Structure 1
Amino acid sequence: MHHMADTRKYVDSGNLSRRVVSIAAGESHTLALTGDGSVYSWGRGTFGRLGTGSELDRLFPAKIEFNSTKPVKIVGVAAGAYHSLALSDDGSVWSWGHNTYGQLGFNGENSMVPSLVEVFNGLSPPHGSITNSETGLKISSIKAGGMMSLAIDDLGSLWIWGNCPPQDPPNEGEEFSLVATYTPTPVWNFHGQTVVKVACGSEHIVALVSVGETHKGGDLVCYSWGSNNHGQLGLGDTNIRTTPQIIETFNTKSNWAAYELACGAFHTSILAYKKGDGEINKSVCWCFGLGDNGQLGLGTTKKALVPDIVRSLPVNLWLISVDCGLFHTSVVSSVGDVWSWGMENGLGLCNEASFNESEGGDALIPRLISYNDEYGSKFPYPIQVACGAAHTILLADNGYRLWSWGRGRSGVLGNGQVNDFFDPNLVLWPPLQEVFVKYDEQQQYPIPQIHEYKNEYKKNDDKMDNYKKSDENMDAEKSLVDITEIEKKLLVMERYTSMLHSSVFGTPFKEENDLPMFLNDAGSFDVGKEWEKMLESYDDSTLVRLETFYRNMLAAVKDKIMKKKIKKMVKECLESSTNMSD
């Protein structure tokens, strides 16, 4: 398969904490996994889905703590609608968030912090093999969607729990209904086969499974089961399936080899390449299921009962990642092109979003998501795309930068704001408390910051037991501390400026492009006069954005004033009633 070469050279392992290796998106929250095994979350906090110990929303990445007697290194993350999963390097699974249907792996209340899925400890694999681990079953990958959780163990067996499809077909006259499953349960149908990848929507599951006992590359068959009311199983009809069925497009005789899966609420997307093509360097996206909002990318709003190729995508490209939101789909190519299609111009924004007349409507075919940067419209060194209910997150730049767009409510975009973004905007990464490493484009390595020199100075100092600091050394260290503090304050100011600029204009702040010429050269100036000049220099679209921002801000201020007045009145009433009772 096609892989992008990493041309960057980094000098220390400390960068692992800043490099995101995997992302996952729930209904209105996002998870990011870093190279050092840490997990960050942001967005809506209800039900404890962020794992921060609180139901408060987080507008930018917050680190999750795992309460364990030994260090926990996470190697995988997954997000359902309102819950989250994490896989540690010892093969154990952690869960947090919503648990009404047992999607956390136990029968109990919602959890606001990560808790170990204890049931896997001491369990044997369903195939009857003896595990060599004293702690029991080892899980090798996890996935979640809707109210469901999925896991594959290191022997290739599939486990499911949460709001799952029933194992027995409904009796005549009965409607299809999901079953709350509080304990991870093995799927017995794949005995003698290896489950390689799996995905699930609101009510259906798809899986890539080996033909034989082991996976030998290109020998995968695609199965689906669960609800099929919109054809999301790709089996040619709308009948439910309680046991896995092979999707004929990707059976053993097929010319197509599937390698990636994704499920929306009621649709499915599969990435595949043609077998026997020699060097594998081009692939296609197949979609099927509900098409009401164009989420199939087939140019129509009709449902598709069997997989169909999204033919509007360019040919001769390699697609590295696909994901589905509730009613939209996104794919990324190896060279950094990103396409989205489906609800509200492919943004998945749902009908309450406000658009200009030219922007409205669903995207029935792929829409190229452009990013105007020094790289042009392509995103550098892409890794993965993740779709929430109405937002999209892209991991690129070898894991050092994330972009987001779509609905911004509850801070799900991770840019410190709660308004919608119709174009990609940088996530605040690393978090504000992290120190950035500057990147020298010519030298291809990070430029050490002042704090690194300071730390090196301290290490050398500690080695010299009999060393007595001279006045000169003391002054040098004090200067380093002062510069470090200034650097931190400057970083916060830069971020504050960027957030303010994004709030008003919808794009990140870039000093050389965004400041009018007369401000660049100004030493000091009259704010009133310069404001007039700025308004004069802006075009109509910028002025409209300014007006929208002003109205929103004014409404928020009026709302806050009203709330404070009501609070004051209530307080006065309470005080007067207390005085009367005295």
Structure 2
Amino acid sequence: MDDSVNLSRKVVAVAAGEAHTLALTGDGSVYSWGRGMFGRLGTGSEADEPIPVRVNFDCAGRSTEERLRFVGVAAGAYHSLALADDGSIWCWGYNIYGQLGVEGDNATVPHLLQHFIELASPDSLTNESETKSKVPLKVCSVKAGGMMSLAIDNLGALWMWGNCLQQSSSNEDGFFLVSSFIPTPVWDFHGHTVIKVACGNEHVVALVSSGETYKGEDIVCYSWGNNNHGQLGLGDKESRLQPEIIKTFNEDSPWAVYEVACGAFHTALLTHKKKPSDTLESLCWTFGIGDNGQLGHETTQCELFPKPVKGLPQNVYLISVDCGLFHTSVVSSAGDVWSWGMERGLGLCPDATFSGIDRGDALSPLLISCNGPHRPKFQDPVQVACGAAHTVLVAHDGYKLWSWGRGKSGVLGNGNTAHCFTPTMVLWPPLMEDSKQEESKTSGEEGNVGAKDSEGVTETERRLSLAMDEMKLLQSKLSAMERYASILHGSIFGKPFEEDDIPASLQNFGTFDIAKEWENMLEAADRAKLIRLEMSYRNMLAGVKDKLMKRRIQEIVEECLHSSSTGPK
């Protein structure tokens, strides 16, 4: 496989919105899947997409070599951003607050944000003598959260648009949110470099250089916005219009912050000890609302100051963190993934998932096990991303994607809409991409594989159609088998079949020793379950004996009738 094919299949970044996911590949393409309402998928419609589809950008007048190549993606609750290598920002989805950088309705296809085109940096002088020497702006990264969009330019300035904070005229200490489709620079960081930024529903956290330029570990952590749950980490619940330093991570802190993420009303950061340090061990810190255990502190209390998450091993290095609305996930360099928060750390509502002793929110980290051969670890992890109630992990150095949590609207990208309480594989690479690559391989051999037939259908389209039909047939068969298994399981055990009921040997190794599993099940069963099994067995045995007796009687009657009809006359 050549390098171009490898890059087209390699996911280098993901971003998750309320119920959709964006993936960026090594060749600069953008894919989306999940809920399509408000046009957040960029496909030209509001239809849901249960498997990844490529986002088509308007590249009129560009040759194949000059096509837009993207280097960044970001997802708000219902809108999406993509950053091209030329610094241009493309936006689509929900736009009621101007988060697309333009006045008007929602957009179902990507459009170019015009504001940064030929715009000078806010650090440039504006008098006439200096007009000609203005530095052209080039955006280097994009971020989104809630109804807000953000960008960092090549001089380290931070820009914001959408549902932005404004000073309240009636109360000097208060603020309110106002819609703004014009990107506005955050002047508070003039003379410093903004390294990374994250935002929740109504708060922002930024990692900023302590000096004018970034030198490695000289990072100060700022926060501002709504603070009604302590999500700013400043020790109180007073909201801030202007950025303020979080003292735990100021210039004198022994900790260097290298990752930051925001949930709806909570914040998570990753740190390691500043050099010199003998280890590369890291800590995850959280603060803000803790009602559903999303802070991982073994309680449901709010935290006004940053506090390390309890229950994570000390000898691991965490490479990525993200927050859903009410859950948090981290992944280590070794491939371990932990989640905590609402309903077992999946982000799902309590009535949607577990029952019995498994029910409830995870107040401390739970290890998420991979179902593959490297269980419980995920091989070569890259990044974790959290939507409102789903989680996506990029692993195998970008060539495999896993997802779990809410499945409604195809959010998990696995082709169906069922909730998944354990990791499931995203259908990656997409079928269409496989068909295109297969076509390019065989076109040289057959010469006319890509040619259209009399009805104008290419061989690629025909193969894709057949593949989709086959997938639908397999899904139909799977659904029928699941119903059959549930009925059979319910008749024996008196409760619906659940994924947890699948024997461990079948989950782990793909083989099933029925005698051994039956013995294990009997050994683990309590008295009530054994009594029910005995009753089920007796009823089944009685039914079988009854059926055998009836059939034997019928056979005897038929023999007698046959004998009387053929006897001597």
Distance in 1 (alpha carbons) for counterparts of 2:118 and 2:291: 46
Distance in 1 (alpha carbons) for counterparts of 2:42 and 2:131: 31
TM superposition score normalised by structure 2: 0.78
1:123 pairs, out of 101, 109, 119, with 119
User: 1:105 matched to which residue of 2?
Assistant: 101
* Distance of aligned partners of 1:496 and 1:33 in 2 relative to their CA distance in 1, 3 Å threshold: farther
1:251-285 superposed Cα distances (whole Å, 9 cap, x missing partner): 00000000000000000000000113436521110
User: 2:271 matched to which residue of 1?
Assistant: 272
Give the match's secondary structure for 2:115.
helix
Q: Is the 8 A contact 1:416 1:499 kept in 2?
A: no
Distance in 1 (alpha carbons) for counterparts of 2:135 and 2:79: 25
* Distance of aligned partners of 1:54 and 1:347 in 2 relative to their CA distance in 1, 3 Å threshold: same
Give the match's secondary structure for 1:358.
helix
Q: Is the 8 A contact 1:417 1:499 kept in 2?
A: no
Matches within 5 A, 1:40-79: 40-69=31-60, 70=62, 71-79=67-75
User: 2:8 matched to which residue of 1?
Assistant: 17
Cα drift, residue 351 of structure 1: 3.5
Cα drift, residue 68 of structure 1: 2.6
Q: Is the 8 A contact 2:175 2:241 kept in 1?
A: no
Distance in 1 (alpha carbons) for counterparts of 2:47 and 2:105: 18
1:37 aligns with 2:28: yes
* Distance of aligned partners of 1:498 and 1:124 in 2 relative to their CA distance in 1, 3 Å threshold: same
- Give the AA of the match of 1:117: L
Give the match's secondary structure for 1:120.
coil
Cα drift, residue 453 of structure 1: 5.7
User: 1:164 matched to which residue of 2?
Assistant: 164
Distance in 2 (alpha carbons) for counterparts of 1:453 and 1:340: 42
* Distance of aligned partners of 1:62 and 1:539 in 2 relative to their CA distance in 1, 3 Å threshold: farther
Q: Is the 8 A contact 2:383 2:394 kept in 1?
A: yes
- Give the AA of the match of 1:14: V
User: 1:189 matched to which residue of 2?
Assistant: 188
User: 1:143 matched to which residue of 2?
Assistant: 143
1:163-201 superposed Cα distances (whole Å, 9 cap, x missing partner): 0122x2563499643111111000000010000000000
Distance in 1 (alpha carbons) for counterparts of 2:38 and 2:465: 34
- Give the AA of the match of 2:11: V
Cα drift, residue 11 of structure 1: 4.2
* Distance of aligned partners of 1:490 and 1:202 in 2 relative to their CA distance in 1, 3 Å threshold: closer
Matches within 5 A, 1:454-465: 454-457=442-445
Q: CA RMSD in A?
A: 3.5
- Give the AA of the match of 1:142: V
Larger Rg: 2
Q: Which deviates more, 63-72 or 307-316?
A: 63-72
**Number of residue pairs aligned between Structure 1 and Structure 2:** 483
Distance in 2 (alpha carbons) for counterparts of 1:284 and 1:274: 9
Q: Is the 8 A contact 2:121 2:135 kept in 1?
A: no
- Give the AA of the match of 1:164: C
Cα drift, residue 356 of structure 1: 2.1
Cα drift, residue 59 of structure 1: 0.7
2:79 pairs, out of 79, 83, 92, with 83
* Distance of aligned partners of 1:358 and 1:500 in 2 relative to their CA distance in 1, 3 Å threshold: farther
Distance in 2 (alpha carbons) for counterparts of 1:22 and 1:267: 23
1:258 aligns with 2:246: no
Unaligned 5+ residue runs, structure 1?
A: 1-9, 438-448, 460-480, 519-535, 542-582
TM superposition score normalised by structure 1: 0.76
Distance in 2 (alpha carbons) for counterparts of 1:132 and 1:316: 54
Cα drift, residue 373 of structure 1: 1.9
Unaligned 5+ residue runs, structure 2?
A: 448-457, 483-497, 525-569
User: 1:27 matched to which residue of 2?
Assistant: 18
User: 1:94 matched to which residue of 2?
Assistant: 90
Q: Is the 8 A contact 1:77 1:85 kept in 2?
A: yes
Distance in 2 (alpha carbons) for counterparts of 1:264 and 1:365: 17
* Distance of aligned partners of 1:278 and 1:391 in 2 relative to their CA distance in 1, 3 Å threshold: same
Distance in 2 (alpha carbons) for counterparts of 1:63 and 1:52: 8
Q: Is the 8 A contact 1:516 1:537 kept in 2?
A: no
Cα drift, residue 316 of structure 1: 1.4
- Give the AA of the match of 2:8: S
Distance in 1 (alpha carbons) for counterparts of 2:133 and 2:88: 11
1:224-251 superposed Cα distances (whole Å, 9 cap, x missing partner): 0000000000000000110000000100
- Give the AA of the match of 2:57: F
Q: Is the 8 A contact 1:157 1:195 kept in 2?
A: yes
